Amino acid sequence: MKQTFTFIILFTLFGQYLVGQKNTISVDSVSIFYNEFKTEAEKNIDLWNKDLYGPILLIDPKTRAIFANESDENGVLKADGNMYTGVLPDKINIANTAVNWNGKRWAMMMLPLPKNKYDRIGLLAHESFHRMQPSLGFELNNTENNQLDQKEGRIYLRLELEGLKKALKAVSEKEVKKHLANALTFRKYRHSLYNGSDSNENLLELNEGIAEFTGVIVSGRNKEQTISSLISGIDDFFHNPTFVRSFAYHTIPVYGCLLYNKDKSWNKKITPKTDLSNYFIKAFNTKIPVDLNAAVKSLADDYNGLVIIEEEAKREKKIKTLIAEYKSRFIEKPHFEIKFEKMNVSFDPRNIIPIEDKGTVYPNIRVTDKWGILTVEKGALMSPDWDKISVSNPIEIEGKKISGDGWVLELSDGYMIRKNDVNENYSLVKKAIP
């Protein structure tokens, strides 16, 4: 049977601002947020020839309370002044994303929103782009780019981003063009090292990269503020445990904003089939060296290459130890495998760890399916085909609630778990109908 599933990404560029804020949510404050965004969206209708302002759900993750700017078609949301409020069902994962719910396609975001007004509007614009993304013809892709967890992949992504930082700081058009050419050279060399990496990275950049570019433009920052925000965003990104799903939030916004200064319509000229690397090479009138290997070796030192290479060599040693631990826990030792039927998943893309050809470990993930709700806080292994997930064996079983080290499974009616006495693995099965 073909598996049906939906991705929900918990993180956007602004996700860092969701941590540690006091939960002082009111209808009045949320109404202000909507008005701020509506104003900037109207100013930027020409960006996509569409109004980004549309159905939005802001959710309090503690109470699942909804603060919406429109009613739903099933009447779950009730008028509350100039807002609509209600409670989000447990089966729906809360995330920064776009979701089809009760007859409409919504942009959904977790409360509280960022304190910084520009960050707040940018986040609303990012997720609102995802809401209208299908109408623009762009597919929803969240491909993993495991090459960006490899030493060489990380090195040349970091060098590319260092080049982009210098391009942003450059004071002359000649300098901008030089650093852009070098950044794109590092990019092309990275793609040459890993077969298919160019197309895989392109898919995520057409999805999250274009959405983040939209957020940056609509946020309302002036030129200097935009440059400062993009540079600090890259510096913060370097501290992420992994780059495989979050790099696009930083590459395309820089290329896009620099090109936007020359051509306000460039984004409307691309399609889901556009190769963004080649598009930017042509748009910036850049020449890529024929001998990429020689070029990157001669350029690396100008972009903090010695430090980057040393740091990535140290990281590689640590990550090998971590991968060995995960392989032992989720593959070699007895574990609990849960197969998907109709899965919906939300996760944080900043800290996932690819495990060779065995899949990817998601330290924090929430899965809903016909069989119930799985909440993981200490890691789970997602299979390469996304048809099952593995956690450590259960420790406690209390009726429909089953828990282990760092995970809880709340079972739906009609399901049970079973232990294989031969290998001591657990599995999820449907109960026999009497």
Q: Which residues contact 176 (CB under 8 A, 6 or more apart)?
A: 167, 170, 258
- What is the rounded distance in angstroms from the CA atom of residue 249 to the CA atom of residue 213? 8
Tally of CB atoms within 10 A around 149: 22
Give Cα 236 to chain centroid, integer Å: 15
- What is the rounded distance in angstroms from the CA atom of residue 270 to the CA atom of residue 276? 8
Q: Which two tokens stand for residue 14?
A: 């602004």
7 pLDDT above the threshold of 90? no
What average pLDDT does the structure give for the chain?
Answer: 93
Question: What are the domain boundaries of the chain?
Answer: 4-136, 146-303, 334-430
Q: Quickly list H helices, 328-391.
A: none
Please spell the DSSP secondary structure of 390-426, one letter per residue: EEEPPSEEETTEEEETTEEEEEPTTEEEEE-TTT--E
Q: Is the pTM of this model over 0.85?
A: yes
Which tens digits make up the pLDDT trace of 31-67?
999 999 999 999 999 999 999 999 999 999 999 999 9
- What is the rounded distance in angstroms from the CA atom of residue 99 to the CA atom of residue 6? 10
DSSP single-letter state for residue 1:
-
pLDDT confidence of 321, banded at 50, 70, 90? very high
Mean pLDDT across 240-261? 96
Instruction: Write the single-letter amino acid at 398.
Output: E
404 pLDDT above the threshold of 70? yes
Q: Which residues contact 319 (CB under 8 A, 6 or more apart)?
A: 149, 353
Which tens digits make up the pLDDT trace of 64-112?
999 999 999 999 999 999 999 999 999 999 999 999 999 999 999 999 9
193 pLDDT above the threshold of 80? yes
